[in-house]
Structure 1
């Protein structure tokens, strides 16, 4: 193995919320072959999780057992043109950089990525989208490695994409993907990207410690409207708060814990269920164990 191995790594330090415990081992592979070698050598009973840029993740205070895989830019961040309208992107590449590269190539269809503060690996896993576009509209094929270190290539249809979801096996670690855009005028693409930026800066608390959109939009409804109607705008638990600017964002006001944030989220879910009958689903991924005596029940145990 040629990658970097770190013991007792504080995952909270690499998430946007800046809270949470440590993982027993962090592995950052040098390249795809190195990742496959590591996974083949790792005992089957050792849990494995993948973490990207940390924008959509909440790490619980009790820490994460086993190994966390984090793909570095150096081995997994390349963006290259592979056809007239196609690009190959490494899973560690930030979504925003993909939008910029597509602009340079004169390829439309990627402007929505300019407003998503995550990486391509996470975008592939959750079908990330914004401003009317999503990942499933652009994906041609996805390359991945499974828990046994075997390489797989999936077509778009194999990914089972739906709203903020893919049905590909959970043990897969995506390493790269081929995307297809459309030839477009660069000035038009720049206009679309500017609109994305304006929307984010005026409607979202992007300068706060937040994990992005907290809950999925229920079919035909907006999560933020349900949260607002439930009277939860600005509601606080400890150092965690429902954003005053956008009710589907939870923020760390400075001294929040992972417990505060998850308890706030479940309080919101319970209140929305009570007032509207809708069960909001978490969009933010939560990892790890609760600290002793600080477990949080879904919907507060209702």
Structure 2
């Protein structure tokens, strides 16, 4: 393709000064915890804030659909894939520093949450034990306010920096954000690039005890041996989504290679060869059966990409 006939996006992607790794027609099954998903038109790992800005601006001005993802721990991608650009954060967004004076971690959004939890543990710093075993990145954890009903990551945020084509780089204090159960007030077009998390020195045996208890609870109640997206539905007020789905008779129910977990009914697992359509059909079935049985409309917390 000559430069004359290239679109602005294609011209950017072949520009040698563009600080990114580019994968055309990249199967998204390689980038989701579900191991499910067709190809993205382009999968781009932006390695610097400059590259991220250039990419998002070109996508916006050319009308090319784009989405930012972390490790795909909460993502279901259609079998047909995504006819746009999937953006992920590389090198410069994978740095984690600890400020001993303020007891804060300054963390790039591409850093795995689990590595920050372990770093805090090795420094005898408390506050992040609840997140042990959480599989996503810091950026993904902030967007969905990862945690339990009692402890969540938003409560630890001192500041957060985001980028959008419309507003540029914006830094906000943690208390300026709205943190809810599995939700936050980030706008859809905002990409989280960095945050500061508060921790405090504590007895390492206390930290280890909390982490081990949290990990044991997760191991006992969650199907960690199969690929999944974690919890499929938010728990309705005063209810357990898993208990409702089980009460509707769907625990262990299978469509194709997808199964409502026999261990926890709010997990739909890939038992091998599941398609996105298999999972989506189970999601729709669970919503319908729970509504028929209890009059409660379940709200998915999994993100969907590429579905019409």
Compute the TM-score of the two structures, normalised by the length of structure 1.
0.91
Q: By how many angstroms is 1:266 displaced?
A: 0.9
Bigger CA drift: 15-24 or 81-90? 81-90
Asked if structure 2 preserves the Cα contact closer than 8 Å seen for 1:36 and 1:149, the reply is no
Alignment partner of 1:231 out of 246, 249, 252: 249
- State whether structure 2 residue 246 is matched by structure 1 residue 218: no
Alignment partner of 1:19 out of 33, 36, 54: 36
The 3 A distance-change label for structure 1 pair 158 and 207 is same
1:192 alignment counterpart = 210
Alignment partner of 2:64 out of 33, 42, 46: 46
2:77 alignment counterpart = 59
The 3 A distance-change label for structure 1 pair 158 and 47 is farther
For residues 18-73 of structure 1, what are the alpha-carbon distances to aligned partners after superposition, in whole Å with 9 as ceiling and x for unaligned?
A: 1121111111111222212322333431111011111111001121122110112x
Alignment partner of 1:99 out of 117, 126, 135: 117
Q: By how many angstroms is 1:148 displaced?
A: 4.6
Distance 1:225 1:283 in 2: 16
Q: By how many angstroms is 1:131 displaced?
A: 7.5
Alignment partner of 1:30 out of 35, 47, 64: 47
Q: By how many angstroms is 1:146 displaced?
A: 0.4
2:14 alignment counterpart = none
Q: By how many angstroms is 1:177 displaced?
A: 0.4
Asked if structure 1 preserves the Cα contact closer than 8 Å seen for 2:59 and 2:65, the reply is no
For residues 148-195 of structure 1, what are the alpha-carbon distances to aligned partners after superposition, in whole Å with 9 as ceiling and x for unaligned?
A: 582111222332221111122110111110011222111111111111
Distance 2:148 2:132 in 1: 9
Correspondences of 1:92-241 after superposition (within 5 Å)? 92-130=110-148, 132-148=150-166, 150-241=168-259
Q: By how many angstroms is 1:80 displaced?
A: 1.1
Distance 2:52 2:218 in 1: 35
Alignment partner of 1:269 out of 284, 287, 303: 287
- State whether structure 2 residue 267 is matched by structure 1 residue 258: no
Q: By how many angstroms is 1:202 displaced?
A: 1.4
Asked if structure 2 preserves the Cα contact closer than 8 Å seen for 1:131 and 1:196, the reply is no
1:300 alignment counterpart = none
Distance 1:215 1:22 in 2: 26
Unaligned stretches of 5+ residues in structure 1: 291-302
Bigger CA drift: 234-243 or 129-138? 129-138
1:5 alignment counterpart = 22
- State whether structure 2 residue 120 is matched by structure 1 residue 88: no
For residues 88-123 of structure 1, what are the alpha-carbon distances to aligned partners after superposition, in whole Å with 9 as ceiling and x for unaligned?
A: 111111111111111123221101111211111111
